[in-house]
Amino acid sequence: MGCCDKDPGFLASLGTAFEMAAVEKVEEQLASLRIAKRSAPSEEPAYLLDIDLSRPAQSENSRFVAVSCSNKSIRVYNRETLHFLREYSSHPGILSGVRFARACDNTVFSACSDGTVKCWDVRSATQKPVQVFSGYPSNVFISFDVNCSDLIICAGTEKVEQDTFLVFWDARGLTDCASSAKEPLGVYSESHNDDITKICFHPVEPNLVVSGSTDGLVNVFDINKDNEDDALISTCNSDSSVSFIGWSGRDYKQVYCLTHDEGFCWWDTAQLDTEEPITLLRVLDVRDSVCAENRSLHYMVGGLYHEKAEKLFLIGGTSTGNIHLISCGTEGLSLVGTLGGGHSATVRSFCWNLADESLLTGGEDAQLLLWKPRAVERSLTKKASLKIASSVQKRVRVHNSSLKSRKK
């Protein structure tokens, strides 16, 4: 064999060695995480459902954390200290997430079941949004996202009668006059036939968006196309109600989803025009695949593509607050490590900041935690269980069947 010949077996072994080293690196990072800060208890404890970090300028650190809560409020915290800054509570319906703008770290968006997406300036304590994006009269929004160029907002609706919509707005030209609500650019109405539970724009390509629904379909669209039929690039079927979707892979050409019965599907859209199968992995129940022996995985929270490790990871947990990190490979799933001693109840949300390897988590114990490598928690007060009584539980996770399907 010449020095320039490539042995496929040798190259495969190199790839496997790199993957193992990457997972070991992440495992070390996870093992070093300690609780650095806890948010102070709120006067009105609520589930912390979604977390987002403001995007910093290149020379700055992220300054803000926004959290959507089950009491229909958005809370804003200082990113480093978790000091509470302000709360926006003028929401008549259930919130479906929070998203910071990429270019302006004081601008945060929220979508509500009242058929609006609101834009807030976190520097302002007023309860008046900077801008309101209104949907059509029957719209009940349960998912949304903002594209990477901050130009387009998309929200997904519940099914009303026979209709379910992806609604789009032009996000440019935010004004100080919230009285003039922005009307939609248009809708997609043919590609899903049930509640659209998740929407996720591509991290780099502003024209690509993926949507997931209780109809089991995960659809990828190119919104630069003139109509919905042409825009629909691919349709993947998870065969179950979709609870989370995301992009992965070196060029973010892969999409994946979690389902409400704790399944996992992973597809490679780069294979659409080839003879190769697009399905990379399908797992009917992640709990059985990863922790079948001791049943210590109760639910899945979401996923994250780790750019440095070039690896997809999933986040799951237990009803007592333990957090599991799970590695994804085409051969299957494996448990990387567990974080314990932080939360005392189900974890609902997380935000992993790869820039400084820190992790933010929120849960049903009403706690927001900041985990950092080798941190020392400087708190004199002992953590108390703040799990909210079941009598005040609200419909905050769409069609959540994980408890019903949990194996004994």
Query: pLDDT tens, 211-268?
Result: 999 999 999 999 999 999 999 999 999 999 999 999 999 999 999 999 999 999 999 9
Report yes or no on 327 lying in a domain. no
pLDDT average, residue stretch 281-305: 88
Is 130 inside a domain boundary? Answer: yes
Q: Is the pLDDT of residue 392 over 60?
A: no
Token output for 190: 């043919």
Strand partners, 218: 212, 236
**Region 20-45 average pLDDT:** 86
245 assigned to some structural domain: yes
CB atoms within 10 A of CB 63: 17
At 313, list the tokens.
């990871």
Residues contacting 221, CB < 8 A, separation 6+:
166, 188, 191, 208, 209, 210, 211, 228, 231, 232, 233
Nearest to residue 117, comparing CAs of 107, 132, 137, 102? 132
Give the span between the Cα atoms of 121 and 112, in whole angstroms: 17
Name the residue among 155, 132, 134 with its Cα closest to residue 143: 155
Query: Which residue range(s) make up the domain with 227?
Result: 43-293
- Residue 29, domain member (yes or no): no
pLDDT at 404 over 80: no
**Token pair recorded at residue 400:** 């959540």
Q: Note the pLDDT of residue 21.
A: 74
Give the DSSP per-residue string, 310-330: TEEEEEEE-TTS-EEEEEEET
Distance of CA 155 to the CA centre of its chain: 14
* Average pLDDT of the segment spanning 340-365: 94
Q: What's the average model confidence in pLDDT over 37-43?
A: 91
Question: Among 70-84, 116-130, 328-342, 382-396, where is mean pLDDT lowest?
Answer: 382-396
**How many of the other CB atoms lie within 10 Å of CB of 118?**
24
**354 occurs within a structural domain:** no
Q: How many residues does the chain have?
A: 408
Residue 257 burial class via C-beta count within 10 angstroms: exposed 0-12, middle 13-18, buried 19 and up:
buried
How sure is the predictor about 99, in pLDDT bands with cuts at 50, 70 and 90?
very high
d(CA 39, CA 46): 13
Q: How far is CA 303 from the centre of its chain?
A: 7
Q: Determine phi and psi for 388, rounding to 5 degrees.
A: -80, 140
pLDDT for res 292: 55
179 against 29, higher pLDDT: 29
pLDDT attached to residue 153? 98
With cut-offs at 50, 70 and 90, classify the pLDDT of residue 104: confident
Residues sharing a CB contact under 8 Å with residue 99, sequence separation 6 or more, in sequence order: 52, 108, 109, 110, 144, 145, 146
Kindly state whether residue 137 falls inside one of the protein's structural domains: yes
Find residue 146's DSSP bridge partners. Answer: 153
Does residue 361 surpass a pLDDT of 90?
A: yes
Q: In a 3-state reduction of DSSP, which class is residue 270? A: helix
> Is 227 contained in some domain?
yes
The answer as to whether 322 is a domain residue is no
Mean pLDDT of all residues belonging to the chain: 86
**What is the DSSP pairing of strand 217-222 with strand 208-213?**
antiparallel
Residue 107: per-residue pLDDT: 93
Q: Is the pLDDT of residue 69 over 80?
A: yes
Q: Which helix (H) or strand (E) covers residue 117, if one does?
A: strand 116-121
pLDDT of residue 371 exceeding 90: yes
Residue 144, token pair as written in the block:
């949304």
What is the spatial distance between Cα 338 and Cα 316, in angstroms, rounded to a whole number? 9
Based on the structure, what is the number of domains in the chain?
1
Asked whether the predicted pLDDT for residue 291 surpasses 80, the reply is no
Give the CATH number for residue 220.
2.130.10.10
Cβ(86)–Cβ(93) below 8 Å: no
Place 335 in a pLDDT band, splitting at 50, 70 and 90: very high
Name the percent of the chain lying above pLDDT 90: 66
Residue 254 corresponds to which tokens in the numbers above?
């892969």
H helix and E strand count, the chain? 4, 28
49 closest CA partner among 88, 116, 97, 93: 97
